Amino acid sequence: MARLGMVIDTKKCVGCMDCVVACKTENNVPEGYNKDWIVQETKGAFPTLTTEIRSERCNHCDNPPCVSCCPTGASHVHELGKVVLVTKNECIGCKACVASCPYDARFIHPDGYADKCTFCIHRVEKGLDPACVSVCPTHCMYFGDLDDPNSQVSRLLASRKNHSLMPEVGTQPRIFYLR
Amino acid sequence: MHELTTTRSNPQIDPSLHIWGWEIPVYLFLGGLVAGIMIISGYFLFKGRYKHSYFSCFWLPHISLVLLSAGMFALFLDLEHKLYVWRLFTTFKVASPMSWGSWILILVYPTLLASTLTRVPPAFQNRIKLFDKVSAFINQRPQLVKNIGVLSMIVGAILGMYTGVLLSALGARPLWNSSILWVLFLTSGLSAAAAFVHLITDDKYERELLAKADNGFLIFELFLFAQFIIGLLSSTQVHQNAAHLILSGPYAAVFWVFVIGMGIIVPLIIQLLAVNHKVQHTPVAPIMVIVGGLILRFVIVDAGQFSRWTIAGF
């Protein structure tokens, strides 16, 4: 079974937010909410400052606390690519999954269920890339099977320095950022 | 410098998590209070006090039924997808504390009902034949009454522990991520329950006994708070930051004044004087303990949501 993940080249990302707009359009994300977003992180001391621009979203962790804490099984790991999803008519809106996510990637949809990035599973099932990946004007986002050593994502991770977000939390995120 | 800017501003998530309002602290408080009451009334049943007093063995479980139902109603109000609440009872998820909790609450109701039937006051007899028959059946078997008392203590203890485990299982919130929280909430529930019985019982023996017991619970609670804070301060930077939220940060005033000062130390002094017959028993100390227990849940739930793992990245 594939283990889908994403690799984002922070050297190419310009923070244009096309990925954010594409996600909102493709997934009908309600006004005022975001399933993906842009973070700009600046570190160091002048004049040796470094800035990293990242497109962030649910990390579809290998060890997802949002799935284990769900009392109804609405939050689950989908058989296609081990993508973490929510079945909206099984969700009671208890918000345990929202509190359990160290990335604060989830939110409560105005209709009452927990919602988040789905890696555009409806597109992936048709063999397409997620909307954010397909629209990126700088082609900084890559999507594929992390378990396949010949996939583009695996080769990029093998050849470039990279990091994930908060690895110390132990959730084993599947989105990686190339330095 | 280390600066993060984000375009995300999801309601209830940013700038800090605030998904749980008043409903969850009230639910956790009432759950803890009922847990404490079940342990106390279970102890009295076990010790055979149902022969002397209607209060602890009949009225307390009745009051618990109302309090627990109010707590569950608060939980229901918190749910965002209320029509699907029945989903909780069509599955059991071993790794989910909330799933455990929903099934534990199902155990609590019959246990409380069995407790109420051990001794029905004359005013309530000859009204529902089934209850009279069950009550007579239980009363003829002293060992069964003891067993109901033990069951009440065990189920009460599990319920009290669960109110803390529900939060401490959420590792993404450093303030809650403590192995002390379940015993702290259980002890706080016991203390509030002892204060509650102290406040409303008309039995002098029970009032005196529970005032003494509450003093023990309050001293132990202070010890647990020290353990809780030391545990956080000796952990990672994010856990230290979480501890400072209640020690010196935005929640410090409420924590020190209402939880520690007015909720534990002042009533402890008053009750120590009362049990040593220096002053009379008054409702002041037990009311302070109960209100302090409620505010403790508000502080922990709110500050816990405020705490996060942001030190390594957004």
Domains of chain B (ranges plus CATH)?
Answer: 23-306 (1.20.1630.10)
Name the pLDDT band for B60 (thresholds 50, 70, 90). confident
* CB-CB under 8 Å, A112 with B96: no
Q: What is the mean pLDDT of residues B14-43?
A: 95
**Average pLDDT estimate for B83-105:** 92
B91 contacts chain A (CB < 8 A): yes
Record: contact B81-A68, CB cut-off 8 A: no
pLDDT > 50? residue A45: yes
Residue pLDDT, tens place only, B171-229: 999 999 999 999 999 999 999 999 999 998 888 888 899 999 999 999 999 999 999 99
How many angstroms away from the CA of A43 is the closest CA of chain B? 5
Average pLDDT over residues A156-170: 95
Tell me if chain A has a CB within 8 Å of the CB of B85. yes
What pLDDT score does B314 carry?
Answer: 36
> Residue B268 is which amino acid?
L
- Burial of B65: CB neighbours in 10 Å, binned 0-12, 13-18, 19+: middle
Instruction: Specify the long-range contacts of residues B264-272, CB closer than 8 Å, at least 24 apart.
Output: B264/B218, B264/B221, B264/B222, B264/B289, B264/B292, B265/B222, B267/B195, B267/B218, B267/B292, B268/B215, B268/B218, B268/B219, B271/B211, B271/B214, B271/B215, B271/B218, B272/B215
- Mean per-residue pLDDT of chain B: 91
From chain B, the residues in CB contact with A37 under 8 A are 6-8
Amino acid B311 reads I
- For residue A160, pLDDT over 50 is answered with yes
Kind and range of the H or E run holding A20: helix A18-27
As a whole number of angstroms, the distance between CA A57 and CA A29 comes to 13
Of A131, A177, A142, A173, nearest in space to A39 by CA:
A177
pLDDT for B12 beyond 60: yes
For residue A37, the model assigns a pLDDT of 97
Contacts of B164 (CB under 8 A, 6+ apart): B181, B182, B183, B184, B185, B186
How far is CA B241 from each of CA B15, B226, B250, rounded to the nearest angstrom?
17, 16, 12
Distance set, CA B77 to CA A84, A135, B22, B74 (Å):
27, 41, 10, 5
Chain-centre distance for alpha carbon A100? 16
Q: Is the pLDDT of residue A76 over 80?
A: yes
How many Cβ pairs within 8 Å bridge chains A and B? 157
Q: Does residue B72 sit at the A interface (CB-CB below 8 Å)?
A: no
Across the range B4-21, mean pLDDT stands at 93
What are the structure tokens assigned to B51, written together?
A: 């022969």
Ranges A80-84, A163-167, B103-107: which has the least confidence: B103-107
Q: Which residue of A has its CA nearest to B98?
A: A71
Inform me whether the C-beta atom of residue B87 falls under 8 Å from chain A C-beta atoms: yes
Residue B2 β-bridge partners: A43
Contacts of B118 (CB under 8 A, 6+ apart): B45, B50, B57, B58, B135, B138, B139, B145, B148
pLDDT (average), residues B32-52: 89
Q: Assess contact for A172 and A62: CB atoms under 8 A.
A: yes
Residues of B in Cβ contact (< 8 Å) with A89: 84
Does the beta-carbon distance from A169 to B172 stay under 8 Å? yes
B144 touching A, CB under 8 A? no
List Cα–Cα distances, B222 to A167, B100, B197, B260, B264, in angstroms.
35, 28, 21, 8, 8
Of B182, B167, B183, the C-alpha closest to B304 is: B167
**pLDDT reported for residue B131:** 79
Q: Which residues of B touch A14 (CB under 8 A)?
A: none
pLDDT at residue B138 in the model: 84
pLDDT in tens, B110-158: 999 888 888 777 777 777 788 788 888 888 888 998 999 999 999 999 9
B68 and B112 Cβ atoms separated by less than 8 Å:
yes
Give me the architecture of the A4-178 domain, per CATH: 2-Layer Sandwich (3.30)
Domain boundaries, chain A: 4-178
Q: Secondary structure of chain B in the HEC alphabet?
A: CEEEEECCCCCCCCCCCCCCCCHHHHHHHHHHHHHHHHHHHHHHHHCCHHHCCCHHHHHHHHHHHHHHHHHHHHHHHHCCCHHHHHHHHCCCCCCCHHHHHHHHHHHHHHHHHHHHCCCCCHHHCCCCHHHHHHHHHHHCCHHHHHHHHHHHHHHHHHHHHHHHHHHHCCCCCCCCCCCCHHHHHHHHHHHHHHHHHHHHCCCHHHHHHHHHHHHHHHHHHHHHHHHHHHHHHCCCHHHHHHHHHHHCCCCHHHHHHHHHHHHHHHHHHHHHHHHCCCCCCCCHHHHHHHHHHHHHHHHHHHHHHHCCCCCCCC
What is the full DSSP assignment across A22-35? HHHHHHTPPTT--S
- pLDDT of the residue at B52: 75
Q: Identify the pLDDT of residue B311.
A: 53
Question: What is the model's pLDDT at position B204?
Answer: 86
> Which amino acid is it at B129?
K
Residue B58, pLDDT above cutoff 50: yes
Structure confidence at residue A136 (pLDDT): 97
Pairing outcome for strands A4-9 and A175-178: parallel
pLDDT at A77 over 90: yes
pLDDT of residue B55: 78
Q: Which of A159-163, B44-48, B237-241 has the lowest mean pLDDT?
A: B44-48
pLDDT tier, B313 (very low <50, low <70, confident <90, very high otherwise): very low
**Distance (Å) from the C-alpha of residue A8 to the closest C-alpha of chain B?**
16
Cα-Cα-Cα-Cα dihedral sign, residues B259, B261, B262, B265: positive
Tell me if residue A77 falls in helix, strand or coil.
strand
Supply B296's token pair.
């403790």
Handedness of CA A149, A1, A128, A85 (dihedral sign): negative
Residue A45 exposed, middle or buried by CB count within 10 Å (0-12, 13-18, 19+): exposed
Backbone angles phi, psi at B91, to 5 degrees: -150, 160
Q: Which of B1, B6, B24 to substitute to test the interface with A, most A CBs within 10 Å?
A: B6
In angstroms, what is the C-alpha Rg of chain A?
16
Contact A95 B80 (CB under 8 A): yes
For residues A12, A17, A21, A23, the Cα torsion angle rounded to the nearest 10 degrees is: 50
Which residues of chain A have a CB within 8 Å of the CB of B169? 69, 100
Average pLDDT, chain A: 96
CA distance linking residue B52 with residue B49, whole number of Å: 5
Distance from CA of A11 to the nearest CA of B (A): 17
